């Protein structure tokens, strides 16, 4: 963001920003009408979604696709092998049952991934509808020529007026206009795009609602922001992250270990006179390898990025989402992130001998024609503190309002032979002395005290029959958003250090930092200062996240491990970051960190559950295989399963059904609670480790009881 804040009068014109959403006390809630994620109907098991995903799940049975997941590739080979054996022994119901459930295991795994991808494809379809073939008005030597939008090249300049669809991504280089970006952000309120600032970037497919702008194209056709969004949300551009690759290597290693164990088991079984059929050995292998996490691993990664998209955040890579989960330092811009960004009247301080109510009345009168947030806050404060009814310009008869100008640096009203002025301390002091009055030492001390505390002082003065004099001072302060201290406390419990970045002087920065509860601050920050801070943190082995929207933020966004660029910002900022917030809400960085942590926790929890599952399946299958040869092993049949065949089939059935049962958790994610790493580990081991041990015993026993009720099965 890097917006330098310097004490200026309240009457200065506020910069145009994105529309205000919901409340100013934090990130806007994700409502059903906003964002791409809300466009997906139905729950996790929406029948229509399952039906659309089933063909994709069947297409994923292609061995060239399955080989990417070593665990499920082994299950696929086992399914083919048992099917062949069942065909060779058509009367063997056991072989057919095992083959059928192994195929279902593979299909359920593919369906989990297909459902996750299908949610992204639904979002991509919405974005494709936003892409339109437009005719661009390209400027060539000062003259306009009409060309197809697909014919534009980087550096071309195009004219867009009210009603035109912007033909490509670019930066506004001339003019200012209101733009409808609802096709991208889901937000119906228009935004302002203008040249020469940090709100110059426009996106192809959005619509100009008013005025005229000239846009310099910055991307090639087919590489626009919408094109990249479509590729990312439907998973076509998703690459496996380092953690995902590492976990895949672990799962492949475990699969090889169990494969060797099962292969070497047969000679021992033959020696013991309990030779096992190939179908039983395949069933044992499938039940022992970590099929649950192998089936859900890809879906977890896709769903993590999908949760970001539902919050209107576009992650350029899965690596960025993972990095967000490991972030230990958070750099946050002050203005608009920690504070409301508009100074608010906090207090009326009368000078010695002045009436507080008279000061409030004069301050309110001088602010009636002031439509800035600061001016409106003066009116509201006078009403709340002193019960002064809000008056309107028309009620004051022949009042003459004095508007604010950059030259006078003050505003006011002349009514009933009385002149009231408010504005910057220097300007009001000059006005008072110019009208024969004096500024008291008390007023000057109050101004200095407010400035020293990081606030903005505005003097209020009046000229009437008693002469010109200062009535008091209005204390303006940048108000910290409601609930920010609590959010920073949560981040501290996560082990994340927060640093506020501001262009303010150190006194102002310290006052805001103390009130907000951040751990540290960087005052009078320049782009070089931000880069140096990020590098220092990274040199200490920490991962750093930050937000930005300006061209001067681009180097720091590129350097940060998680760089979140605002969609309202410049093209340079969006290119440098590895995430783009379509809502341009800087506080969303906190949510991004939580989603990243949720992704890592979900993957770890389901891995723990999957491995713990294998223990119970071991106790179901091994006694059933060797109890006839070694009667003593029957003591391990602690579930008292009805028969060897029923025990093995029950374990295989449970192995398939547990994948289906865990798909909602994989897509929704394990609930994240801010807490220490050790406590979180104990909690997840207790829930998913112990649960992974206990649940299969109950599930396999229940399935065994149902199987034993089928006639002809013993």
So what's the pLDDT on residue 7?
Answer: 37
Please state the rounded mean pLDDT for residues 432-439.
Answer: 89
Q: Which residues are annotated as a binding site for ATP?
A: 370, 374, 404-411, 422
Please state the rounded mean pLDDT for residues 389-413.
Answer: 72
The band of 11, judged by pLDDT with boundaries at 50, 70 and 90, is very low
Which residues make up the CATH 3.40.1110.10 domain(s) of the chain?
342-479
Look at the domain 342-479 and name its fold.
Calcium-transporting ATPase, cytoplasmic domain N (3.40.1110)
3-state secondary structure of 496: coil
Catalytic pick from 198, 333, 581, 704?
333
So what's the pLDDT on residue 593?
Answer: 86
Please state the rounded mean pLDDT for residues 73-92.
Answer: 92
- Which of 141, 343, 317, 185 has the alpha carbon at shortest distance from 244? 317
The band of 30, judged by pLDDT with boundaries at 50, 70 and 90, is very low
The residues, any chain, with a CB within 8 Å of residue 593's CB and separated by 6 or more, are 324, 325, 327, 330, 491, 494, 496, 545, 562
Please state the rounded mean pLDDT for residues 514-529.
Answer: 86
Which residues make up the CATH 3.40.50.1000 domain(s) of the chain?
327-338+481-582
- Taking the alpha carbons at both ends of the chain, their separation in whole angstroms is 71
Our CA dihedral for 412, 415, 418, 422, rounded to 10 degrees, sits at: -10
Query: 127-136, 439-448, 503-512: which has the highest mean pLDDT?
Result: 439-448
What mean pLDDT value characterizes the chain? 80
Q: Is 401 exposed, middle or buried (0-12, 13-18, 19+ CB in 10 A)?
A: middle
So what's the pLDDT on residue 2?
Answer: 36
Q: Are strands 191-194 and 456-464 parallel, antiparallel or unpaired?
A: unpaired
pLDDT digits (tens, 9 = 90+) for 217-234: 988 777 777 776 666 665
- Which of 546, 26, 594 has the alpha carbon at shortest distance from 308? 594
What DSSP designation does 73 have?
Answer: H
Q: Which residues are annotated as a binding site?
A: 370, 374, 404-411, 422, 549, 553
Is residue 333 among the annotated active site residues? yes
Please state the rounded mean pLDDT for residues 97-123.
Answer: 84
State yes or no: pLDDT of 125 exceeds 80: no
So what's the pLDDT on residue 133?
Answer: 65
Give the span between the Cα atoms of 296 and 604, in whole angstroms.
12
Prediction pTM value: 0.65
The band of 511, judged by pLDDT with boundaries at 50, 70 and 90, is confident
3-state secondary structure of 162: coil
Please state the rounded mean pLDDT for residues 505-531.
Answer: 84
Please state the rounded mean pLDDT for residues 311-327.
Answer: 81
Tokens in use for 627?
Answer: 């109890």
Question: What is the chain's alpha carbon radius of gyration, rounded to the nearest angstrom?
Answer: 33
Tokens in use for 468?
Answer: 């010109």
SS percent in the chain: helix, strand, coil, step 5:
50, 20, 30
pLDDT digits (tens, 9 = 90+) for 260-303: 988 888 888 888 788 888 998 999 899 889 999 988 888 888 78
State yes or no: pLDDT of 517 exceeds 50: yes
State yes or no: pLDDT of 24 exceeds 60: no
State yes or no: pLDDT of 586 exceeds 80: no
State yes or no: pLDDT of 66 exceeds 50: yes
- Is the torsion defined by CA of 393, 398, 399, 405 positive or negative? positive
Please state the rounded mean pLDDT for residues 486-501.
Answer: 84
pLDDT digits (tens, 9 = 90+) for 203-218: 887 889 888 899 999 8
Q: Are 43 and 50 in contact (CB under 8 A)?
A: no
For 189, other C-beta atoms within 10 Å of its C-beta total: 13
Q: Residue 431 — φ and ψ, nearest 5°?
A: -65, -45
For 531, other C-beta atoms within 10 Å of its C-beta total: 15
The residues, any chain, with a CB within 8 Å of residue 359's CB and separated by 6 or more, are 348, 350, 460, 471, 472
pLDDT digits (tens, 9 = 90+) for 619-633: 778 887 777 777 777
So what's the pLDDT on residue 240?
Answer: 66
Question: For 532-575, what is the HEC assignment?
Answer: HHHHHHHHCCCCEEEEECCHHHHHHHHHCCEEEEECCCCHHHHH
Q: Are 113 and 60 in contact (CB under 8 A)?
A: yes
Q: Residue 135 — φ and ψ, nearest 5°?
A: -100, 125
Q: Which residues are annotated as a binding site for Mg(2+)?
A: 549, 553
What's the CATH superfamily of 327-338+481-582? HAD superfamily/HAD-like (3.40.50.1000)
């Amino acid at each position: 963001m890097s917006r330098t804040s310097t004490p200026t009068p309240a009457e200065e014109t506020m910069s145009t920003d994105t529309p205000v959403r919901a409340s100013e006390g934090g990130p806007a809630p994700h409502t059903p009408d906003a964002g791409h994620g809300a466009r997906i109907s139905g729950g996790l098991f929406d029948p229509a979604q399952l039906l659309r995903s089933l063909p994709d799940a069947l297409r994923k049975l292609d061995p060239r696709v399955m080989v990417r997941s070593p665990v499920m590739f082994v299950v696929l080979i086992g399914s083919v092998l048992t099917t062949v054996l069942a065909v060779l022994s058509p009367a063997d119901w056991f072989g057919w049952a095992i083959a059928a459930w192994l195929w279902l295991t593979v299909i359920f795994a593919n369906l989990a991934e297909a459902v996750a991808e299908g949610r992204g494809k639904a979002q991509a379809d919405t974005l494709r509808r936003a892409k339109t073939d437009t005719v661009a008005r390209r400027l060539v030597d000062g003259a306009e020529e009409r060309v197809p939008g697909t014919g534009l090249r980087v550096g071309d300049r195009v004219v867009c007026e009210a009603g035109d669809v912007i033909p490509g991504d670019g930066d506004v280089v001339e003019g200012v206009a209101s733009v409808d970006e609802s096709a991208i952000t889901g937000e119906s309120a228009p935004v302002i795009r203008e040249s020469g600032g940090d709100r110059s970037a426009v996106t192809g497919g959005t619509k100009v609602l008013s005025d005229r702008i000239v846009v310099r194209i910055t991307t090639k056709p087919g590489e626009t922001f919408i094109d990249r969004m479509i590729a990312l949300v439907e998973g076509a551009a998703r690459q496996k992250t380092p953690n995902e690759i590492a976990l895949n290597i672990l799962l492949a290693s475990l699969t090889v270990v169990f494969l060797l164990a099962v292969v070497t088991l047969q000679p021992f079984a033959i020696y013991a006179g309990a030779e096992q059929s190939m179908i039983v050995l395949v069933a044992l292998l499938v039940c022992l390898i970590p099929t649950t996490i192998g089936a859900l691993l890809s879906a977890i990664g896709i769903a993590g990025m999908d949760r970001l998209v539902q919050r209107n955040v576009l992650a350029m890579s899965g690596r960025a989402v993972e990095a967000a989960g490991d972030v230990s330092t958070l750099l946050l811009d002050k203005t608009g992130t920690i504070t409301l960004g508009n100074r608010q009247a906090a207090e009326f301080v009368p000078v010695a001998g002045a009436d507080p109510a008279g000061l409030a009345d004069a301050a309110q009168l001088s602010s009636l024609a002031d439509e800035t947030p600061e001016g409106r806050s003066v009116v509201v404060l006078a009403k709340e503190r002193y019960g002064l009814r809000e008056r309107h310009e028309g009620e004051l008869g022949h009042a003459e309002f004095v508007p604010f100008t950059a030259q006078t640096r003050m505003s006011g009203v002349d009514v009933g032979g009385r002149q009231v002025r408010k504005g910057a301390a220097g300007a009001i002091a000059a006005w008072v002395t110019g009208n024969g009055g004096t500024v008291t030492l008390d007023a000057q001390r109050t101004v200095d005290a407010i400035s020293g505390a990081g606030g903005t002082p505005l003097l209020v003065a009046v000229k009437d029959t008693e002469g010109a004099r200062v009535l008091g001072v209005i204390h303006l302060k940048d108000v910290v958003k409601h609930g920010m201290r609590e959010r920073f406390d949560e981040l501290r419990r996560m082990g994340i250090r927060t640093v506020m970045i501001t262009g303010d002087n150190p006194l102002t920065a310290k006052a805001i930092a103390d009130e907000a509860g951040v751990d540290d601050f960087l005052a009078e920050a320049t782009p070089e200062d931000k880069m140096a801070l990020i590098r220092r943190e990274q040199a200490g082995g920490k991962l750093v996240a930050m937000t930005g929207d300006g061209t001067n933020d681009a180097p720091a966004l590129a350097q940060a491990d998680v760089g979140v660029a605002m969609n309202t910002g410049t093209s340079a900022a969006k290119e440098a970051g590895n995430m783009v917030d379509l809502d341009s809400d800087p506080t969303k960085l906190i949510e991004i960190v939580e989603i990243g942590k949720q992704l890592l926790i979900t993957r770890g929890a389901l891995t723990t559950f999957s491995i713990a599952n294998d223990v119970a399946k071991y106790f179901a299958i091994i006694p059933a295989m060797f109890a006839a040869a070694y009667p003593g092993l029957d003591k391990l049949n602690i579930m008292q399963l009805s028969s060897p065949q029923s025990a093995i089939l029950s374990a295989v059935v449970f192995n398939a059904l547990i994948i289906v049962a865990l798909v909602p958790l994989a897509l929704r994610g394990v609930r994240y609670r801010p807490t220490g790493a050790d406590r979180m580990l104990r909690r997840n081991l207790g829930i998913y480790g112990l649960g992974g041990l206990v649940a299969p015993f109950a599930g396999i026993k229940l399935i065994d009881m149902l199987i034993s009720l089928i006639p002809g099965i013993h």
